[in-house]
Structure 1
Amino acid sequence: MKSGLLKHLCIGVGLLGAAMLTGCANRPKPLYHWGNYQPQVYEYFKGDGKGHEEQIATLEENLQKVRANGESLPPGYHAHLGLLYIKAGKEDQVKQQFETEKTLFPESSSYMDFLLRKFKK
């Protein structure tokens, strides 16, 4: 009788200890701060959402928050912002956004160069 009770007590203590250790584990910090980027891309492709100026303002606001917190933006963020600037007619900022995308994500260089060539035409 004692061995059965002792066995259940040991199992209970072991499970309690495992639960406590798991509960204290820290979650790893995400690599990128996505914020409202994904809904903005969806709105852009859906075409019946916010206007280009409003989307730009939302993404620029998020950009400032991310920089202030020392976080990183996801791949494509600056490229998408550049495309919005094209639609809004803010040509001076298009090249800056595409160049920033190339700098942060060198694997996008060939595509950003392609977009810059198309933009110049």
Structure 2
Amino acid sequence: MKLVLTLLLFTAVLSGCKSTPPMYMYENYSESFYTLKKESGHESDAQWQSSLESIIRKSNAKALRVPPGIYANLGYIQLKANNYPKAIEFFEQEKNIYPESIIFMDNLIQKAKVKG
């Protein structure tokens, strides 16, 4: 009986040590967004875009879901640059991955279509 209890306790302890893999890979999202807001301008926009694209590449390489808002932020950057077709493409990707964003993304898509 003691052996069974010892084995059960040992199994319980070992099963508690397993860590779950991350759901998303945000990388340096917070730092790059802070830099964008602190030092707004074309150069910081380009750095932020590069950071977002890196998050997408690394998420895809690790077979992780791209974090929420990444495609929407890329779409916003394209919208600011008057690249409406590319903005719409990113908004559509965000909408497809995160259906809960459909209303917001559809509004942004409509605005991009009107401007473009």
TM-score, with structure 2 as normaliser: 0.73
SS at match of 2:68: coil
1:63 to 44, 50, 56: 56
Q: Shift of the alpha carbon at 1:115?
A: 0.8
SS at match of 2:22: coil
Query: How far apart in 2 are the matches of 1:97 and 1:69?
Result: 21
Query: How far apart in 2 are the matches of 1:111 and 1:54?
Result: 25
Which residue of 2 is the match for residue 3 of structure 1?
none
Instruction: Name whichever of 62-71 and 94-103 sits farther off.
Output: 62-71
Cα RMSD of the aligned pairs, angstroms, is 2.5
Consecutive unaligned residues of structure 1, counting only runs of 5 or more, are: 1-13
Aligned 8 A contact 1:78 1:98 in 2: yes
- The 5 A counterparts of 1:29-44 are 29-44=21-36
Query: How far apart in 2 are the matches of 1:100 and 1:93?
Result: 11
Aligned 8 A contact 2:55 2:66 in 1: no
Q: Which amino acid aligns with 1:37?
A: Y
Which residue of 1 is the match for residue 3 of structure 2?
none
Query: How far apart in 2 are the matches of 1:98 and 1:118?
Result: 11
Which residue of 1 is the match for residue 92 of structure 2?
99
Query: How far apart in 2 are the matches of 1:43 and 1:82?
Result: 19
1:65-119 Cα offsets, whole Å, 9 max, x none, are: 2111111122111101110112233333111110000000001000000111122
Task: Indicate yes or no: 2:107 matched with 1:114.
Answer: yes
Aligned 8 A contact 1:52 1:88 in 2: no
Consecutive unaligned residues of structure 2, counting only runs of 5 or more, are: 1-5
Aligned 8 A contact 2:78 2:87 in 1: yes
Aligned 8 A contact 2:95 2:102 in 1: yes
Identity of aligned pairs, percent?
29
Aligned 8 A contact 1:102 1:112 in 2: yes
Aligned residues: 104
